[in-house]
Amino acid sequence: MQRIEHDGYLVAIIYRDEDWVEGLNFVTPNEMFVQVGSWWYKKGRKLASHIHNDFERSAMRTQEMTYVKRGSMRVLLFDEQKNYIGDFILKEGDLAVYAYGGHGYEILEDDTKIIEAKNGPFVDVETDKTKFEDHC
């Protein structure tokens, strides 16, 4: 697992297919708005049935996660001032969690399939995002 930090901010966490460990493994720290974890159990393992209780939470920012089911993509990373700080490739089985700063994506293969998850609720694009030209 790789953590990318810039100017004291966590920008991204990269969790590669080879980073999996048996059991329950949370990729993100508890204080992040989005929580991402991996499960790796043997056949027959039972996990307790449960209901998530209503509990008001406050999040000032949308954070998201992308998982590559098939194909690959290039992820561009930017700081809070929209300056390019680096990029990396995600391949099949890899995921990344994005915290602060900005990000952009370039699909590298035909038929690439990505799953995205982020905290909600969704309001609208104008409220949630500031789009910009990345020139990369």
For residue 136, pLDDT beyond 80: no
For residue 133, is it within any domain?
A: no
Assign 101 a pLDDT band (cuts: 50, 70, 90): very high
For residue 45, is it within any domain?
A: no
pLDDT at 79: 95
Check which CATH number belongs to the domain holding 20 and give it: 2.60.120
- Quick check: 68 and 92 in contact, CB under 8 A? yes
For residue 56, is it within any domain?
A: no
Core vs surface per residue 94-127: b (16+ CB within 10 A) or e: bbbbbbbbbbbeeeeeeebebeeeebeeeeeeee
- Distances in Å between the Cα of 77 and the Cα atoms of 13, 39, 112 are 12, 27, 20
Question: Strand 95-98 relative to strand 64-70: parallel, antiparallel, unpaired?
Answer: antiparallel
Instruction: Look at the chain and count its residues.
Output: 136
pLDDT at 28: 93
- Quick check: 78 and 85 in contact, CB under 8 A? yes
For residue 90, is it within any domain?
A: yes
- pLDDT tens digits, one per residue of 7-62: 999 999 999 999 999 999 999 999 888 999 999 999 999 989 999 899 888 888 88
The residue segments making up the domain with residue 33 are 2-40+62-128
pLDDT at 48: 92
Token pair for 95: 């995921």
Q: What is the DSSP letter of 18?
A: G
Tell me what the pLDDT averaged over the chain comes to.
93
pLDDT at 106: 97
